[in-house]
Amino acid sequence: MGLFLAFFLGAVCLSFTCSLLEAVILSATPAYISVRVKQGKTAARILDKMKKKINRPLIAILTVNTAANTMGSTGVSVQAMHLWGEPSIAAASGAVTLAILIVGEIIPKSLGAAHWKRFATVAAYGIQTLVVITFPVIIIMEQVIRFVGGKRQKLVSRAELIESAEIGASEGSLKRHESVVIRNLLMMEKVLVSDILTPRTEMTVFPADITVEKLMAEHPTLRYTRVPVFQDAVDNIVGVVHRFRIMDAVARSADQTLVKELMAPVEKVQDDITVAQVLDLFILKNRHLFVVVDSEKHVEGIVTMEDAIETLLGVDIVDEFESSADMRKYAAEMLKKRHELLKTGLD
């Protein structure tokens, strides 16, 4: 009777352990492991190493699990025959199979999937032990897998990261606006400058040869901080003037100063670069405004750092000098357009 119980309990316990370890190693996320590695956790380093070569822990676990189930079932059947005769073999086999299914598979895998963080440390050392024990089998099976398995796919795609942010927001791990920023950030590589620029029909531009006096007469309220300056035609943008420079000229009574004397150089970008690229250029070149041109060097419009930040944050930034209904309506329309672009960026 002792051997019968030993085989029965041994098979169920080993199956339980292997199933739990399998669920934990498969459920542990790379992000969680990376955080724990940076905290100096030895178990996390072990898990990280095994996740990078996931075939090894899986081969070890499945090898031990299969051996335990096979030997346990055989041992139970043999001992049942010795104790109660041949008619008991079927009942004993059925009992051990049912026990392994429920106690050795369903319960531990459910526990491991639901509470993998709690078991992660113990699982790391347990799986490492199994890998050492079954290492010869692992070497053989790796050769077989390499022959038939092909290349391993990337663990996490851009779409999966976005979905993870959405799930985090729905579960309360992230705030909704944080999820939106993460999604927009990941989609900025798919949105072009031409999709977010202010078109030339909506641009405010100043002629280079106009005086400050005449400019202030035509534009008593300077709505924008930076305004492109053109020479002869809008396609010939020669600089950008800052509102502060104009107001400074007014304060100094330099009314006859030409706008071109106050302007700073302006840089141009192609309309087919991405929002992510133009944001990098804003930072690299320490600029707040670029003129956007097409392949024929015709001016398409302007893009500002504000436009790029609005695309990232998913909000429209309208300051106190842009309080008119038309400006707010235009900003809202642009925001809606950006949301649609980001939403369909995965298609």
Q: What pLDDT is stored for residue 319 in this prediction?
A: 55
Instruction: Say yes or no: 133 and 231 in one domain.
Output: no
Tell me the C-alpha to C-alpha distance, in Å, between residue 265 and each of 206, 208, 240: 14, 12, 6
- Give the CATH number for residue 234: 3.10.580.10
Write down the pTM of the prediction: 0.58
Structure-model confidence comparison of residues 249 and 147, the more confident one = 249
**What are the tens digits of pLDDT across the range 92-110?**
888 888 999 999 999 999 9
The residue length of the chain stands at: 347
Q: Structural domain tally of the chain?
A: 2
**Looking at the structure, do residues 197 and 339 belong to the same domain, yes or no?**
yes
Residue 211 lies in a domain: yes
pLDDT, tens only, 222-274: 888 999 999 999 999 999 999 999 999 999 999 899 999 999 999 999 999 99
Domain presence at residue 176? no
pLDDT tens string 295-308: 888 999 999 998 88
Higher pLDDT pick, 325 / 7: 7
At 228 the pLDDT is 95
Q: Name the residue with higher pLDDT: 315 or 334.
A: 315
Could you tell me if 299 and 195 lie in one domain?
yes
**Nearest-angstrom CA–CA distance, 255 and 261:** 12
> Domain limits at 11?
2-149
Do 305 and 219 lie in a common domain? yes
Has residue 324 got a pLDDT over 80? Answer: no
Does residue 155 lie within any of the structural domains?
Answer: no
For the cut 50, the answer to whether the pLDDT of residue 323 exceeds it is no
Q: Which residues pair with 292 in a beta bridge?
A: 269, 301
Alpha carbon distance 261, 106 (integer Å):
79
pLDDT value, residue 236: 93
Band (16; pLDDT cuts 50, 70, 90)? very high
Q: Are residues 82 and 219 in the same domain?
A: no
pLDDT computed for residue 327 by the predictor: 44
Identify whether residues 258 and 333 lie together within a single domain.
Answer: yes
